[in-house]
Homo-oligomer: A and B are copies of this chain.
Amino acid sequence: MKRVDRGEDGILAQCGEDRILAKLTRGIRRGAGVRVGVGDDCAVIGGRRDRVWRLLKTDAVVEGIHFLPESPPAWVGWKAMARPISDIASMGGLPEYALVTIAISPRAEMDYLQGIYSGIKRAARRFAVELVGGEMSRSPGPTFLSISLTGVVERARCATRSGGRPGDLLYVTGRLGGSGRGKHLRFIPRVEEGRWLTGNFAIRAMMDLSDGLGSDLPRLARAGGTGFEILRENLPCTKGCSVSDAISDGEDYELLLAVSPKDAPRLETTWKKRFPRLKLTRIGKLTPFSKKQPGLRRGHDHFSQPG
């Protein structure tokens, strides 16, 4: 075994999230029953030939990072539940069972906690998720909410980050940017859209945009061993947002997908009929891998930003 030089890496803020995760998950091998392990939106469990696979996802929101003390508690609960639902959606899956973990100060008001729970329950009802358990703890500091969620997806529909090929066209749902203005609390996970897309088209790769296109698109390209090209002028910006906001703000929770060019014309025409109120925008394409791939301005990194 290689000797680890203690202290060589310094503090997390100097490392960046992707490098931290790569270090921590080094040496974890994927067992026979695991189709997708660490590094995608969800873990995928099941036999190679099973018709239906199981999805596992966990996601957390932390006071001061993902919401503020003054954020309406029902929206905090909604967001905590909607985030992992969005990850299930990005695999083409349907969510099923949820476990809720809350750490909160004993000095918090019971009404505040009930407010958070009302948002959790509302999101659960809306997406047919069943709450089957959880865990409560005191917190000596900020409120911390973590929700783990199971789901299912038919093998034939399961969309991962890694299936993109050069030439595939890139699309995003909805509009990007402006999450800071409350949008990040009230977003709608694209479960219906993810089901329809994976049920009707060759979706080569898909993920949800949680850290912003600038961080997430390079991840999707890297997972598939490709490069990418973006038509910056095509990006569907939220009203009042610049292209650079659309790339960097993060927390859009829209779907980013790579589609076979053969399927693209039919996708564009049928999408408008099926989802007339939600945009689907072609934003570029996947290209052959190149070491000279120009980056996008970075999206959100959980560690290398000040804070």
Of the 9-residue stretches A131-139, A226-234, A238-246, A267-275, which lies at the interface with chain B?
A131-139
Residues of chain B within 8 A of A59, CB atoms compared: 101, 135
Main secondary structure, interface of A, reads mixed
B60/A12 in contact, CB under 8 A: no
A17 interface residue (CB < 8 Å to B):
yes
Residues of chain B within 8 A of A7, CB atoms compared: 109, 111
Residues of chain B within 8 A of A64, CB atoms compared: 140-141
Residue on B nearest A40 in the bound complex, by CB: B133
CB distance from A268 to the nearest CB of B (A): 33
Residues of chain B within 8 A of A100, CB atoms compared: 58
Contact of A130 among B23, B34, B109 (CB under 8 A): B34
Whole-angstrom CA separation of A135 from B43 in the bound complex: 12
Residues A135 and B60 in contact in the complex (CB < 8 Å), given A9-B111, A114-B23: yes
Which residues from chain A sit less than 8 Å from chain B, CB to CB?
4, 6-7, 9-13, 15, 17, 20-21, 23-25, 27-28, 30-31, 34, 37-40, 42-43, 45, 56-66, 97, 99-101, 103-111, 113-114, 117, 121, 130-142, 144, 146, 148, 150, 302-305, 307
Known A-B contacts: A43-B133, A65-B137. Give 4 more (CB < 8 A).
A6-B111, A31-B130, A65-B139, A139-B144
Q: List 14 A-B contacts (CB under 8 A).
A: A4-B114, A11-B106, A12-B106, A12-B107, A20-B110, A27-B121, A37-B131, A38-B132, A39-B133, A43-B132, A58-B101, A60-B146, A65-B139, A106-B304
